[in-house]
Amino acid sequence: MQLNGTRFEFFTVAYLTRIGNLSAGTLAELLAGLEQCSDASIFHHTFQTLSSHHFLTEGFSNDFAQWVLADANRDALAEQLAALDIRDYPSIAALREDLCRVVRAFCEEHPEFARQSALERFYFCESVEVNVPFGFAAANLDEFRDGISRLSHASFFFHFISSRLRLHLRTNDFSHWLANGLGLMPLADNINRIDIYTNTLDSARAKLLRLLDRERRKHEPGADR
Amino acid sequence: MNPVQTASRIPLDDYAAVIGAGELEELRALAKPLQGRSVEMVNSTAVGGGVAEILNRFVPLAEELGLRIRWDVMTGGEDFFAVTKSFHNALHGEPYHPDPRDFDVFRAYTDLNLRRLSLDSEFVVIHDPQPAGLIAARKNSSAHWIWRCHIDLSHPDRAVWDFLEPFVSKYDGAIFSSPEFARQLSIPQYLFHPAIDPLSEKNRELPPEFIADVLPRYQIDPLRPILTQISRFDRLKDPVGVIRAYRIVKRYLDCQLVLAGGSASDDPEGAEVLKEVQHAAAGDPDIKVLELPAWAPLEVNALQRASTIVIQKSLREGFGLTVSEALWKKKPVVASAVGGIPTQVIHKHTGLLAHSVEGTAYQVRFLLSHPEIAARLGERGHAHVKENFLITQKLKRYLTLFLMLAGNSGG
């Protein structure tokens, strides 16, 4: 969506949370829910929740892991679920498969815990996405930097993280455009390596801007002397 | 029929300092496709109550974003509000003995308001059960009607719900404050968290000298740790349990306890609970039980900001926005894991949860002994509220809802 000729068009995104009809009070029910819920629900409890909790950079990864830790009181399983890195998944189907695999293996290994009641129920919700153009675009590195510095958190996350699901690639909109639109492959790679789990969206953006500034300095007149 | 004139007008630009220019620009981008579109909010009171407080601040902001928004209030006699009050309690699960005349009163006032109100906007948002029957005005129009339910519908009285459900099922969607409060309905249900206004008197920054002036008024020592619970005097807020937890803490660490709530003079049950609290606090000069006039927003703000730890030891809770108020002020919070509290207090991330008097005392002792952890929780709590529970987020959710209903859904 962002490649318009060689222009990068910035979008912003907003999500409505739709309350689903599934809920879980045990790990066995969580597994059943994971198998049955919509793709929008898996997205909501993984991608979307990481965006709305981006300021938690120690140990918060997704809603499933947090519920297993805080309400089902199963630290080892929570750790395994938290370790699933959404950047490794270019599709929701692949992510769902791994979530189910991890919970299923735990339930098979510990059937005594699978039907134990959690403190509070887990309610499956889903994200309904609405996106609109932010109203500005970039045709070169300077405009690109300016655009990124003006983005909201949601917009930054949309282009930097959830874009993987749109592109079906292990990259993001920014890196994709820098590589394919401007031919700046090393910069694109460096940007793609910024860790969203150990950074807030603000610190991730600051790192990205620093990388862009370094690149811009290389192209300043006299920089090659 | 004249719409309600809102009392509070804080320019949208003033929020840039709080949420950042990018977030504000995003609101404007989302509002752009909705320029000039009409929105009507309807509730049952222009003053008093949480919904009126929210609309007073929400409507001018939406207007500034270019929506043609109006706020109408349905009228009713004492008989109507007596019926809807009993409906309200029954929907919360309290015992109710259905009287067919109650339903007739509800229908009669619905008909009266159907004749009074315009209800011709493109987006109509009806707040709570009192005006739910106004959906009859929709007829065959293409307008989008949404029911915003601010109460917990998880265990409603059957008779009242059976009466209301046929109205509710005619809407395009319903909004609840928590997934736990929703019901199995044939229409889509959405989650909108309640929100605080960071620029209101209850939440805005205060000069340190103002806070320093407030404490001596209540003989609170600013140099010793202050534990605070702000809530009305209601058994479900467990103020006596808070005193018991404080007494356990006090065995190990010096501290003071402030229990502050609104005046209980016009609430017989509140007055009774206040007496119980005063009795439990008797003889300890370090426990301050404060009855504040009409919630005195600036004083509540000052007390929260002066606190070392804020407690919310509710036995049952709706959303519990006092928790967000405390988190916004970067206070470490120890709270019960009930209702909407765990959404705000993510255990060990944005505060600490407890399930008992002893657990509350333990968490308070832990935080008093580890001020660096308390400070970190407070910082993250502030970030959590900024990201999820401010009025600007509420504005964003409504814009998103209207865009989706208007067919701008992107995914």
**Sequential DSSP letters for B337-365:** S-TTHHHHS-BTTTBEEESSHHHHHHHHH
Subunit contact A56:B380, Cβ cutoff 8 A: yes
- Written as six digits, the tokens of B228 are 């605070």
* Among candidate residues A73, A102, A126, the one where a domain is terminated: A126
Same domain, A106 and A160: no
Count of CB contacts below 8 A, A vs B?
Answer: 115
Residue A223, domain member (yes or no): no
Q: Are residues A160 and A65 in the same domain?
A: no
- Provide the sign of the torsion angle of the four alpha carbons B89, B172, A166, A95, taken in this order: positive
Spatial contact of B259 and B292, defined as CB atoms under 8 Å apart: no
Distance CA B23, CA B18 (A): 10
One domain for residues A41 and A143: no
The DSSP call for residue A48 is I
Nearest CA in chain A to B176: A19
pLDDT digits (tens, 9 = 90+) for B343-355: 999 999 999 999 9
Is there a contact between A70 and B342 if contact means CB atoms under 8 Å apart?
A: yes
Same domain, A45 and A97: yes
For residue A186, give how far its alpha carbon lies from the nearest alpha carbon of chain B (Å).
28
- Own/partner long-range contacts of B276-279 (Cβ < 8 Å, ≥24 apart): B276/B239, B276/B240, B277/B233, B277/B239, B277/B240, B277/B243
Distance between B30 CA and the closest CA of chain A, angstroms = 7
Q: B319 near B194, Cβ under 8 Å? A: yes
The shortest CB-CB distance from B179 to any of A13, A19, A150 is to A19
Tell whether A120 and A148 lie within a shared domain. Answer: no
Strand-pairing partners, residue B409, are A130
Q: Which CATH architecture has domain B208-388?
A: 3-Layer(aba) Sandwich (3.40)
Question: Pick from A96, A126, A156: which residue ends a domain?
Answer: A126
3-state DSSP percent of chain B in helix, strand and coil, to 5? 50, 15, 35
Question: Are the beta carbons of B337 and A132 separated by less than 8 Å?
Answer: no
CB contact under 8 A, B179 and A123: yes
The answer, as to whether pTM is greater than 0.90, is yes
Do residues B259 and B273 lie in contact, with contact meaning Cβ atoms separated by under 8 Å?
no
Give a yes or no: residue A144 inside a domain.
yes
Asked if residue A201 and residue A105 are part of one domain, the reply reads no
**Ranges for all domains in chain B classified under CATH 3.40.50.2000:** 12-195+391-405, 208-388
Residue A1 has pLDDT above 50, yes or no: no
- Where would I find the H helices in B282-320? 297-306
With respect to residue A131, please indicate whether it lies within any of the assigned structural domains. no
Q: List the single residue in A with minimal CA-CA distance to B185.
A: A21
CA distance B22 to B7: 28
What is the token pair recorded at B139? 């007829």
| Secondary structure of residue B11 in the 3-state scheme | coil
Does residue A147 share a domain with residue A95?
no
Contact B26 A134 (CB under 8 A): yes
User: Is residue B100 helix, strand or coil?
Assistant: helix
CB contact under 8 A, B404 and A130: yes
Range of the domain at A195: 3-11+138-218
Distance to chain B for A136, nearest Cα, Å? 10
The CA distance from A131 to the nearest CA of chain B, in Å, is 5
Tokens 């059976």 identify what position? B162
| pLDDT tens digits in sequence order for chain B, 411 residues long | 677 877 668 899 999 999 999 999 999 999 999 999 999 999 998 876 678 888 989 999 999 999 999 999 999 999 998 899 889 888 888 788 878 899 999 999 999 999 999 999 999 999 999 999 999 999 888 999 999 998 888 889 999 999 999 999 999 999 999 998 888 889 999 999 999 999 999 999 999 999 999 999 999 999 999 999 999 898 889 999 999 999 999 999 999 999 998 766 656 678 899 999 999 999 999 999 999 876 689 999 999 999 999 999 999 888 889 999 999 999 999 999 888 899 999 999 999 999 999 999 999 999 999 999 999 999 999 999 999 999 999 999 999 999 999 986 544
Percent helix, strand, coil in chain A, to 5, is 55, 15, 30
Given A62, A91, A126, the domain boundary residue is: A126
Handedness of CA B106, B109, B115, B120 (dihedral sign): negative
* Chain-chain contact of A14 with B403 (C-beta, under 8 angstroms): yes
Please measure the distance between the N-terminal and C-terminal CA atoms of chain B and give it in whole angstroms.
39
Q: Are residues A21 and A7 in the same domain?
A: no
B346 CB near a chain A CB, below 8 Å? yes
Contacts of B29 in chain A (CB under 8 A): 12, 132-135
**Do A83 and A183 fall into the same domain?**
no
Assigned CATH for B12-195+391-405: 3.40.50.2000
Specify whether A17 is located in the same domain as A104: yes
Establish if A224 belongs to a structural domain. no
A111 and A21 fall within a common domain: yes
The DSSP bridge partners found for residue A17 are A127, B191
The pLDDT of residue B95: 82
What Cα–Cα distance (Å) separates residue B56 from each residue in B3, B63, B216, B325?
12, 12, 33, 18
In terms of domains, do A42 and A145 share one?
A: no
- Asked whether residue A67 is assigned to any structural domain, the reply reads yes
B177 forms bridges with which residues in the sheet? none
**Residue B30 sits at the chain A interface (C-beta within 8 Å):** yes
Q: How many domains does chain A have?
A: 2
Q: Give the SS3 label for residue A198.
A: coil
